[in-house]
Amino acid sequence: MSTEVKVPVLGESITEATLGEWLKKPGEAVAQDEPIASLETDKVAIEVPAPVAGVMGDYSVQAGDTVNVGAVIASIEAGSAASVPKAAADTAPKQEAPAAAAAPAASAATSAGNDMPLSPSVRRLVLELGVDPTKVTGTGKDGRLTKEDVIAYSKAAPDTQPAPASAEAAPVPATGSRGEERVRMTRLRQTVAKRLKSAQETAALLTTFNDVDMSAVIETRAKYKDLFEKKHGVRLGFMGFFTKAVALAARDVPAVNAQIQGDEIVYFNYLDVSVAVSAPNGLVVPVIRSAESMSFAEIEKTIGDFGARAKAGTLTMADMEGGTFTISNGGVFGSLMSTPIINPPQSAVLGLHRIEDRPVAINGKVEIRPMMYMALSYDHRLIDGREAVTFLKIIKEAIEDPARLLIDL
């Protein structure tokens, strides 16, 4: 008896997805609710759980195929892996047979490592660092390897890495050889490309800049970070200060937290901040709900949770939906200055950049201060230049004098 595996409901208005990868091979035993495949939607990767326990049957679709909600993608056969007919087991990839014959006494860790699929980014890092993935303990979901696992293993156990191949065993490509690699765009990357291009074609985009002296925030963090972490169990970061400052500025410049819908302007009396965080397949933007009413600790805990779940691939569609304003921190990657693009239908995005010591004039004297450039990209159809400049000025004043955040100035 077999049970069909169907594409689950993916979220409001989402009718199709791309099959990212199979997590179970035909002939392998699966437990009920165990992930057997991953689907890439317009926003996140979603795992497909096994509806019943049994043995993985044949695939109906392959990685890279587009599937609709409710479509059958595989089957699960009743019974255990040991009782599966040989014909079913033979549907597994043939190249594994030589490996099994060559290493019949492989350790449990090696077997687990060989059976666990690697994401493209982890696979690339493994090749770059020369790490044997079967010797690395995975800390991701279901024991999968993450990039952090590979990097930590590479740093902690350099002596266990494979010795460099000899000149005779490692042929060197001919000088001047050229090659290329074609990789199918993920559904997430396709959607990002379409939305950003749509923003350029639809909105009247303009960017205004300001710089901010980070001395006061850095001193505040240094003074209270240990107490803050001890009391709240989370580190005090810069994003909490900027989120609170945006909430403060949005009250005085409501157009920045508004949207054009048809021939109407919708002003929101709440601030749902989309924050860009890094995920294995690219940047995603989960939403901090009602940020204007949250404390520093609540904001930092929410952002930390988003970051951990993004790396583990467990963010949901509900985490991504909505958002009235976006904060993007390119500074964590070393960006000095940029012109971010708004995330439609939002009307503005605040870009943060790296902090660097620069000479500035303070009371007629030149001093070295930790400075950061801020960029506000906005839809000029809704937001005037005066409003954009005022918005950035309020944020600058709040960051340079954090007491303003406590007394609503």
pLDDT at position 347, please?
94
- Tell me, yes or no, whether 321 lies in a domain: yes
Confidence of residue 379 (pLDDT cuts 50, 70, 90): very high
What sign for the dihedral angle of Cα 237, 333, 392, 370? positive
Distance CA 64, CA 146 (A): 22
Give the model confidence (pLDDT) of 10-62 as tens digits: 765 677 788 878 888 888 888 888 888 888 776 667 788 888 888 888 898 88
380 given a catalytic annotation: yes
In a shared domain, residues 266 and 393: yes
Mean pLDDT, residues 74-83: 73
pLDDT band at 80 (very low <50, low <70, confident <90, very high): low
Q: What is the mean pLDDT of residues 285-294?
A: 92
Please check the confidence at residue 108 and state whether its pLDDT lies above 80: no
- Predicted confidence (pLDDT) at residue 229 exceeds the cutoff of 80: yes
How is the chain split among helix, strand and coil, in percent rounded to 5? 35, 25, 35
294, 387: one domain:
yes
Provide the pLDDT for residue 110. 35
Nearest-angstrom CA–CA distance, 34 and 57: 14
Please tell me whether residues 285 and 355 are part of one structural domain.
Answer: yes
Give the model's pLDDT for residue 314. 81
Catalytic residue among 58, 142, 380, 401: 380
Q: How confident is the model at residue 194 (pLDDT cuts 50, 70, 90)?
A: confident
- Which pLDDT band holds residue 120 (cuts at 50, 70, 90)? low
Q: Are residues 88 and 118 in the same domain?
A: no
* pLDDT band per the 50, 70, 90 thresholds, residue 405: confident
Report the CATH number at residue 403: 3.30.559.10
**In the structure, what pLDDT confidence band is assigned to residue 316 with cuts at 50, 70 and 90?**
confident
Percent of the chain at pLDDT > 70 equals 80
Residue 169 has pLDDT above 70, yes or no: no
* pLDDT (average), residues 306-324: 84
If one counts the domains in the chain, the total is: 3
pLDDT, residue 152, reads 81
CATH code for the domain in which residue 49 is found: 2.40.50.100
Select from 247, 252, 302 the least CA-distant residue to 277. Answer: 302
Q: Which residue has the higher pLDDT, 394 or 160?
A: 394
Please check whether residue 31 lies inside any domain of the structure: yes
Averaged over 158-166, what is the pLDDT?
47
Residue 175 domain-assigned? no
DSSP string, 90-139: TTS-TTHHHHHHH-TT--HHHHHHHHSPPPHHHHHHHHHHT--GGGSPP-
Least confident of 94-98, 344-348, 393-397: 94-98
Contact between 346 and 339 under an 8 Å Cβ cutoff? The reply is no
At 107, the pLDDT band (50, 70, 90 cuts) reads: very low
In the annotation, is 384 catalytic? yes
Q: Is the pLDDT of residue 151 over 90?
A: no
- Using DSSP bridges, classify how beta strands 348-362 and 325-329 pair: parallel, antiparallel or unpaired: parallel
Determine, yes or no, domain membership for 334: yes
Q: What is the pLDDT of residue 190?
A: 78
Q: Which of 127-141, 162-176, 181-195, 357-371 has the lowest mean pLDDT?
A: 162-176
Whether 272 is covered by a domain: the verdict is yes
For residue 360, the enclosing domain spans: 205-407
What pLDDT is recorded for position 121?
61
Q: Which of 350, 348, 376, 243 is nearest to 302 (CA)?
A: 243
Q: Where is the domain boundary, 60, 92, 124?
A: 92
- Same domain for 111 and 8, yes or no, is no
If one compares 280 and 70, the residue with the highest pLDDT of the two is 70
For residue 138, what is the domain's CATH number? 4.10.320.10
The pLDDT, as a whole number, for residue 43 is 62
Choose, from 58, 252, 384, 401, the residue flagged as catalytic. 384
Concatenating the DSSP letter of every residue in 128-161 gives HHT--GGGSPP-SGGG---HHHHHHHHHH-GGGS
Residues comprising the chain, all counted: 409
**Residue, of 185 and 60, whose pLDDT is higher:** 60
Whether residues 272 and 368 fall in one domain: yes
Q: Residue 218 and residue 237: Cα distance in Å, rounded?
A: 10
In this structure, the answer to whether residues 123 and 71 fall within a common structural domain is no
Cis peptide before 173 (omega within 30 of 0): no
**Residue 299: closest CA among 241, 343, 376:** 241
Task: Using DSSP, state whether 30 is helix, strand or coil.
Answer: strand
Q: What is the pLDDT of residues 127-146, one digit of tens each?
A: 767 777 778 888 776 677 77
Looking at the domain assignment, is residue 8 inside a domain?
yes
Residue 210 and residue 356 share a domain: yes
Residues 278 and 209 in one domain: yes
Got the DSSP string for 305-326?
HHHHHHHHT---HHHHS--SEE
User: What is the rounded CA–CA span in Å between residue 114 and residue 320?
Assistant: 33
Instruction: For residues 384 and 45, give the distance between their C-alpha atoms in angstroms, rounded to a whole number.
Output: 38
- The angle formed by the CA atoms of residues 17, 18 and 22, to the nearest 5 degrees, is 125
Q: Tell me, yes or no, whether 221 and 351 share the same domain.
A: yes
Would the pLDDT of 231 be above 90? Answer: yes
The answer to whether residues 256 and 235 belong to one domain is: yes
pLDDT at position 60 is 87
Same domain, 108 and 136: yes
State how far the Cα of 399 lies from the Cα of 239, in Å rounded to an integer: 11
